[in-house]
Structure 1
């Protein structure tokens, strides 16, 4: 089989658009390329996959298999107490590549990175579209980044958590690279199969460490959102949930705010902290060089209220 054939197999088996085939040598090792071509759409037990690797690919098959799972080449499937492996998606591999191999990711041209971000975002939107449409109709259905939280609420979530806590890089900011806000800010709970923690990524945190990360994220203007699976610290320019909500028309439904923002113009001293902290331009400077508030742009994330020195901004249920 020629190199061209292997590349076509990646496009076919790994759901990789042909437009990105020239990036294959940057994102996959030669052995991984061969494995993707060999596995196709099939599922394998650990023993079957190790046998396939031993027959066709040199080296320690167990270590190679472990590394393929770690790098999101493969994923696990549990069925009737049995464990199987199959190929993951290029969509997942791209996220892991940007998150955990940032130096390699940034060696890819800016033009290609932007195209990959656009493709990844479009794939994300289609993956969640049906769920979001159901949420808009009022169905109570679980989805990541479901609830916007105050800092206090996010820290209470940490305090009440009875699962392991891990720190992971924000995949959205890692891929998009549209702002200079901190990336190592997302908090994941547990280590179920196919999560970054189960694949061997992330730093194990104590509750106090996690609370401090939330505090620093808040200070850096990042929005707390999440549920029982993870707490994300999001921004308004890179993060896929906020970008997707604008495309899908789900603002106020997902991510859902528990509060509304009230600005008392008379108490405002026009210090501009709300202008600098707001991710959506809801607080802005007018031609009179004073602070103004555009309620239509507000997502009620509560960051502005938490940073207002004169309590001119409060959040109400």
Structure 2
């Protein structure tokens, strides 16, 4: 019965039922089940019989079991499974990877659906400020920032996790209440390190998307932005894409690097290299790999 209370209060989907013992400790399940107040403090946790309420809350905050309500007052609230799974996937990756492939796929699909349901349903209106940018513009963006910068694991690839591309690639400037940085899950870096991360991501074939809070280095398989784009049929609208590929066929030496690098099958071989610009997101990853400068970006 206590587990049923916990499942309801923490909004846990059926896809997670078989792995509750890996996602939560018995103490966490007991705490969530018994906590009756929406906003609570260390003293409230002490009153429940916890011998080290401060340590419990600090650990629970880092693990995404609770979220801060008011840092100055020292008050918290119960978090939810959406936040816990996000944190779990990037901070307890080995444990997550011990789940069966079927369970991981089910959790990823649940999370993706939850992500999409939180977006503005109007397909003609961008639901977030994310924008696809080529490498040089991303590096310029980093140079212009005067905020603390942090490095995180990519939650999209951590959750889906089968494409084999690098995961420690997410750069964020978000360090406020309940952020990964504030929870102690991020590595603080400097501008040069941030630019190095982006360059290496580009070499690995990852696209770059920028929003006011940071930079994602995305693949076409796992990234929720591009999976969401496909679901919403919003190519060129969201994420915002200012460019499209230009192909100078006269320079092409048929090396096929663009075919291998593109995540969206813009390039393909039918005798010679062919281009279907209607699929292009304007990331410029193919431009970086072309040895003869046959590719360039132009305004969309």
Mapping 1:32-51, distance limit 5 Å: 32-40=28-36, 42-44=38-40, 46=41, 50-51=42-43
Decide which of 63, 70, 89 is 2:55's aligned counterpart: 63
**1:57 offset after TM fit, Å?**
4.4
Decide which of 55, 65, 71 is 1:73's aligned counterpart: 65
Partner SS state of residue 85, structure 1: strand
Map Cα deviations across residues 208-249 of structure 1 (whole Å, 9 max, x no partner).
011000100000011110122010000100010100111112
Mapping 1:202-213, distance limit 5 Å: 202-213=186-197
| Aligned-partner Cα distance in 2 for 1:32–1:242 | 35
Counterpart residue number, 1:160 = 144
Counterpart residue number, 1:9 = 5
Counterpart residue number, 2:275 = 293
TM-score of the two chains, using structure 2 as the length reference: 0.94
1:309 matched to 2:300: no
| Aligned-partner Cα distance in 1 for 2:229–2:191 | 31
Counterpart residue number, 1:28 = 24
TM-score of the two chains, using structure 1 as the length reference: 0.89
Q: Do the aligned partners of 2:15 and 2:106 also contact (CA within 8 Å) in 1? A: no
Root mean square deviation of aligned Cα: 1.8
Decide which of 278, 281, 286 is 2:262's aligned counterpart: 278
Q: Do the aligned partners of 1:192 and 1:198 also contact (CA within 8 Å) in 2? A: yes
Q: Do the aligned partners of 1:174 and 1:183 also contact (CA within 8 Å) in 2? A: yes
| Aligned-partner Cα distance in 2 for 1:215–1:201 | 23
Partner SS state of residue 182, structure 1: coil
Q: Do the aligned partners of 2:133 and 2:282 also contact (CA within 8 Å) in 1? A: no
Mapping 1:41-190, distance limit 5 Å: 42-44=38-40, 46=41, 50-78=42-70, 82=73, 84-130=75-121, 133=122, 136-137=124-125, 143=128, 146-190=130-174
Map Cα deviations across residues 18-39 of structure 1 (whole Å, 9 max, x no partner).
4422211110011111111123
| Aligned-partner Cα distance in 1 for 2:179–2:297 | 34
Unaligned ranges ≥5, structure 1: none
| Aligned-partner Cα distance in 2 for 1:175–1:57 | 35
**1:40 offset after TM fit, Å?**
4.9
Q: Give aligned pairs, total.
A: 299
**1:83 offset after TM fit, Å?**
5.0
